[in-house]
Amino acid sequence: MKIKNLITYISFLLISSIVSIAPLYAQEDATGVVKERMNKFKISKKMMQTIHKSIQNEDFGTIEESATTLYNWSKEMIKYFPEGSDVPPSEASADIWLNPEGFKKAVNNFELASLKLINNSKEKDFDNSVDAFRSLAGTCKGCHQKFRN
Ligand code: HEC
């Protein structure tokens, strides 16, 4: 019967479209921009722990490497905060978009501080590396106080 074939065909189409869309939504859940930036920040925390240890060991190569990871993150951080991405479970404050200049400045402070640590570790300057590490940690905290709930 023709009509039956048509119904079968339509339901086939519906099912295949659901099946092909479903992985997209699932992926949104698992690797959405919020999850991606949370991962980046988790890595940031690890980098800071690594730098802390490496300062004690005067391992300037590792300091430079970790600071470079942070610097690269600073250069792309803004992209990870599209407007309206402050939905739970995100802890991003709506102030990021209410005060975009302030947020950019906080990102910029972070960028400059990581760059300073890169340069000081290249020079294998212990005291300046410690100072730069402290300022860098200050830029994490500074942004969290303003822009993280
Ligand atoms: C310019 C702003 C800014 C800077 C700089 C910044 N953070 Fe964050 N951080 C945030 C925001 C906003 C969130 C919340 C993100 C979310 O939940 O969507 C966050 C979240 C986090 C989290 C929680 C991640 C999770 O799993 O939920 C950690 C850990 C973290 N940051 C560590 C750091 C460290 C360490 C640094 C410095 C090396 C740093 N952050 C620098 C804004 C910043």
Q: How far apart are CA 134 and CA 129, in angstroms?
A: 9
CA-nearest residue for atom 27, ligand 1, is 38
Mean pLDDT of 72-91: 94
Confidence tier at 14 by pLDDT (50, 70, 90): low
Average model confidence (pLDDT) across the chain: 87
Ligand 1 center from residue 37 Cα (angstroms): 8
* Site of tokens 């690797």: 31
Longest Cα–Cα distance of the chain, Å, equals 85
Judged against a pLDDT cut of 90, whether residue 27 lies above it is answered with no
With CA atoms as reference, report the closest residue to 40 among 140, 149, 142: 140
Judged against a pLDDT cut of 60, whether residue 17 lies above it is answered with no
Amino acid at 130: V
